[in-house]
Chain A
C-alpha cells in the first residue's frame, strides 16, 4: 500500500514537472512570436520613416532627425530597442501633428500607411508586453526556479513603450 502511494506521488510529481516545463516552453515561444511580429512591424515603420524623410513632406531639418532616429532604431540592440523606438515615435509624432496640410498622392499614401501601421504596432506592443510579463511571472514560481525548468532560455526583456507617443 505504502509502495503504491509513493509511486503515485512520484508519478504525480513527474507529471507536474513535465506540465510546468511545457507551460514555460509555450510561454517562451509566445514571447518569441509576439516579438517577431512586433519587430517586423517596427522594421516596416523605420523603412517608412526613411521614405518620408526623403519625400516632399520633410524639410531638411526634420529629414535629418527622422533618418537619424530611424537608423538608430534599426541598429539598436534588443535592450536599447525600446528607447530608440520611442525616439523614432517622437520624431514621427511631430510630423503627424502637422500632416493635415500635406498635398501630393504619394505623400498622403505614406502618411496613411504610417497611421495604419501605428494602430497595428499598438496592438502588437500590447500582445508582446502581456506575453513578457506572464512569462516573467511564471519563471519566478519556485518550482520553475528550483528545477531550472526554463533551461537556457533567456529572460525576456521588458519592453517599455510610451503609449501616448505611438
Chain B
C-alpha cells in the first residue's frame, strides 16, 4: 500500500469501553493502519482512562443519552471541546478521520475545530426525524468542511442524502474474514439448529420475533433448537418465553472469537431478526464469511448487505409467520441452503480488512491532495486571538 507513512487522527464518538459497532470498526481500522506502518492516534470518550490501548487518547467520561432507539454514550461540552482542540493541535496530523460527525459528540466538535484534510464516515441509517429540520442549519456548515464522506452501506448513504443533501462514497465495514473462513463443525451446534448472536435484551435485536415464530417451526421441524450467544441476563429472558418452549433455548453468554467462528460454521441457520436501528450488520458479514446460511429481516441495511436476497434469505421484518415459513423451507432443503451459504461466503471476502482498509486509505489520499495537514480552524484562531489564548 503506502510508500510514505502518514499521521492519521481518528475520532470515535462513542465511549471506548462500551461494546458497539462503531467502536470495533475504529479499533480494527486503527490497528490495521498501525500494522501498515502509519502513526495513528484515536480520540474517544472513555470511562476507564487506565486500561486504554496506547494509541487511544481519552477525551473524558462519556454521558449516556437516549439516541436512535438505544442509549448512546457520547461526549460534548466545553471541557471536551478544549481537549479535542488540544489533541488536534498537538497531533500534527496529515488527515483526520471523523466517525459519525452528525451526532452530538466529539466527532462533531473535531469537525468544527479542525481545518484541512477531513474525512467523515457515516454509520447510522435512520428514518427522517422531525428534529433534523431544526438541526440541519447548524449542522450543514460544519459537515460541509469534510473533504470526503464515506457511508458504510447504501442505507447509510441514503440517510445522508436525505438528511444533509450530500453524497457519499460507500465503503463497507471491515471484518477479519480469515478468522471466520475456517470455522470447524462442532457437534453441539450442528443439525436443525438456529443461531442468534447479539445483546438479546435489546428489543431492536428482535429475539422476540424469533420466539413468536418458534411454535410454527416446531410443527414442521420437531427437533429444532435455538442457541443464543451474547451478553445479557438469560434468566430474565427465559421468563419471557412460554414454558413449553423454554427447553428449546440454550443461552450461552458471551463467546470467544474462535467459538464464534465455529458456532457460525456449525449452526443450521443464522437468524438476524433485527427490527431496525442497524446500519450495516457486521455480524451478518461475519456469519456469511463463516459460511452460515443466513435468514435476516428485510430492513434496509440487511437488504443491501445481502444483495436483496442473493446471499442470504430475507423475511418481512417483525413478521413471525413469514420468518417461520422461510426457516422451515430452508431447513427442509439442505441443497438450496448450502448453495446460498457458499455464494454468501465468496461474497463476504469483499468485506475483508485488506480490501476495506485499502479503499479507506485511497479516500485519505484523495482528501490529502493539496493539503498541508490538519490545523485548528481560522474561526477558532481569530476567536482565541481575541481572548488572548494560545491555540
Known contacts A19-B379, A22-B378, A33-B147; is A129 also within 8 Å of B366 by CB? Answer: no
Q: Is B388 an interface residue (CB 8 A)?
A: no
Tell me the minimal C-beta distance from B258 to chain A in angstroms.
34
Q: Give Cα A34 to B169, complex, Å.
A: 14
**Contact across chains for A40 and B369 when beta carbons are under 8 A apart:** yes
Chain B residue nearest to A138 (CB atoms) is B144
Q: Which of A18, A32, A124, A127 has the most CB of B within 10 A?
A: A127
Q: Mark A104-132, 1 if CB is under 8 A from B, else 0.
A: 00000000000000011001101101110
Which residues of the partner chain B approach A19 to less than 8 Å between Cβ atoms? 379
Q: Output the least CB separation between A71 and chain B (Å).
A: 25
Q: Is the CB of B370 within 8 A of A123?
A: no
Interface size class of B (residues with CB under 8 A): 20 to 34
B141–A23 touching, CB < 8 Å: yes
128-186 of chain B: CB within 8 A of chain A? 141, 144-145, 147-149, 166-169
Known: A22-B378, A34-B147. A123 touches B366 (CB 8 A): yes
A166 adjacent to chain B (CB < 8 Å)? no
Q: Which residues of A contact B141 (CB under 8 A)?
A: 23
Q: Is the CB of A123 within 8 A of B369?
A: no
Known: A22-B379, A134-B166. A127 touches B144 (CB 8 A): no
Closest CB-CB distance, A153 to chain B, in whole Å?
A: 16
CB neighbours (8 Å) of A119 from chain B are 362
Cβ of A19 to closest chain B Cβ, rounded Å: 7
Main secondary structure of the interface of B (DSSP, over half): mixed
- Answer whether residue B63 sits at the interface, using C-beta atoms and an 8 A cutoff: no
- Interface residues of chain B, those whose CB is within 8 Å of chain A, are 115, 141, 144-145, 147-149, 166-169, 362-363, 366-367, 369-371, 378-379, 382
Q: Is the CB of B169 within 8 A of A123?
A: yes
Chain B residues with CB under 8 Å of A134's CB are: 144, 166
A130–B362 touching, CB < 8 Å: no
Q: Chain A residues near B379: list those with CB within 8 A.
A: 19, 22
Query: Contacting A36 at CB < 8 Å: which of B148, B369, B382?
Result: B369
Query: Is A37 in contact with chain B by the CB < 8 A criterion?
Result: yes
Q: Return the contact of B370 from the options A18, A33, A120 (Cβ within 8 A).
A: A33
Q: Decide yes or no whether A148 CB sits under 8 A from chain B.
A: no
The answer to whether B371 and A33 have CB atoms under 8 Å apart is yes
- Does B370 lie within 8 Å of A36, measured CB to CB? yes
Q: Tell which of A120, A127, A138 touches B147, judged by Cβ atoms closer than 8 Å.
A: A127
A99 to chain B, nearest CB (A): 21
Task: Let me know if A47 is at the binding interface, CB within 8 A.
Answer: no
The answer to whether B167 and A129 have CB atoms under 8 Å apart is yes
Query: Could you say which of A18, A32, A33, A130 contacts B166, with CB atoms under 8 Å apart?
Result: A130
- A30-B115 in contact (CB<8A): no
Measured CA separation A19–B382 after assembly (Å) = 11
- Alpha-carbon separation in the docked complex, A134 to B148 (Å): 13
Chain A residues numbered 65-124 whose CB sits less than 8 Å from any CB in chain B: 119-120, 123-124
Q: Which residues on the B side are within 8 Å of A22 (C-beta)?
A: 378-379
Say yes or no: is A44 at the interface (Cβ < 8 Å to chain B): no
Distance in angstroms from B140 CB to nearest chain A CB is 9
Interface residue? A27 (CB, 8 A): yes
What are 18 A-B pairs at a CB distance below 8 A?
A18-B382, A19-B379, A22-B378, A22-B379, A23-B141, A23-B144, A26-B115, A30-B144, A33-B370, A34-B366, A37-B369, A40-B369, A120-B366, A127-B367, A129-B167, A130-B166, A130-B167, A134-B166
